[in-house]
């Protein structure tokens, strides 16, 4: 009995907590937009805690790779959520700050996408250029170019072998391309695990 007040306080503190990861429809929020993006991950976090979100930011067309942003956005919940997408997303309103990302430390991006109907290779080779969505992948050397070409050969295996597709991890270690900072990466290495 003497622990009952303490238990009550603990239960009430959980009941009063705000769910900051799921803001209400129409709520204005601040988001952190990272210096890079992946095909199925815009790398967006909810501020102030920088909690990575799994939905997307609509209408932020001025985003450039190699810069971090703090933006204001409005939470949107459609009346009928799509069956093949998130039940909510954010609609861009305004850039609050933009800072150049100066680090030369490599970071990883996934070269595989996972979709509702399967997995696949997240880049293509067109007109002698490796394209990663709207971005360019520039191999650091011929060995890395060969690694990228070998990954492209896995496309049919990913499409036909479901067990392989869900287990395999295909990453590239990259840096921002100084000669094409906002539109490309230099690929330092590729790993298939």
Q: Mean pLDDT, the chain, as a whole number?
A: 88
Q: How confident is the model at residue 20 (pLDDT cuts 50, 70, 90)?
A: low
Task: Quote the pLDDT of residue 10.
Answer: 44
What is the pTM assigned to this prediction?
0.78
- At residue 107, does pLDDT exceed 90? yes
C-alpha–C-alpha distance, residues 137 and 28, integer Å:
35
Write down the pLDDT at residue 21. 64
Q: Which residues contact 106 (CB under 8 A, 6 or more apart)?
A: 173, 174, 175, 188
The side-by-side arrangement of strands in the sheet containing 28-33 is 51-52, 44-46, 28-33, 67-76, 89-100, 57-58
**Position 2 pLDDT exceeds 70:** no
Query: What pLDDT is recorded for position 170?
Result: 97
The answer to whether residue 12 scores a pLDDT higher than 80 is no
Cβ pair 57, 92 in contact under 8 A = yes
Q: Tens digits of per-residue pLDDT, 116-157?
A: 777 899 999 999 999 998 899 999 999 999 999 999 999 999
**Residue 17: pLDDT over 80:** no
Residue 72 has pLDDT above 50, yes or no: yes
């Amino acid at each position: 009995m003497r622990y009952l007040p303490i238990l009550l306080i603990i239960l009430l503190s959980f009941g009063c907590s705000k769910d900051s990861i799921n803001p209400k429809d129409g709520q204005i929020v601040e988001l952190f937009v990272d210096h890079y993006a992946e095909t199925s991950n815009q790398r967006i976090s909810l501020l102030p805690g920088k909690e990575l979100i799994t939905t997307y930011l609509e209408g932020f067309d001025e985003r450039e790779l190699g810069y971090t942003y703090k933006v204001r956005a409005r939470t949107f919940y459609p009346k009928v959520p799509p069956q093949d997408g998130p039940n909510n997303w954010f609609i861009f309103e305004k850039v609050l700050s933009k800072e150049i990302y100066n680090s030369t430390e490599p970071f990883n991006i996934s070269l595989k996408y996972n979709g509702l109907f399967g997995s696949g290779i997240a880049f293509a080779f067109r007109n002698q250029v490796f394209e990663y969505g709207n971005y360019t992948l520039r191999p650091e050397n011929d060995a890395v170019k060969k690694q990228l070409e070998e990954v492209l050969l896995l496309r049919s295996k990913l499409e036909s072998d479901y067990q392989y597709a869900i287990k395999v991890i295909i990453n590239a270690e990259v840096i921002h391309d100084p000669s094409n900072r906002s539109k490309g990466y230099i690929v330092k290495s590729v790993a298939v695990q």
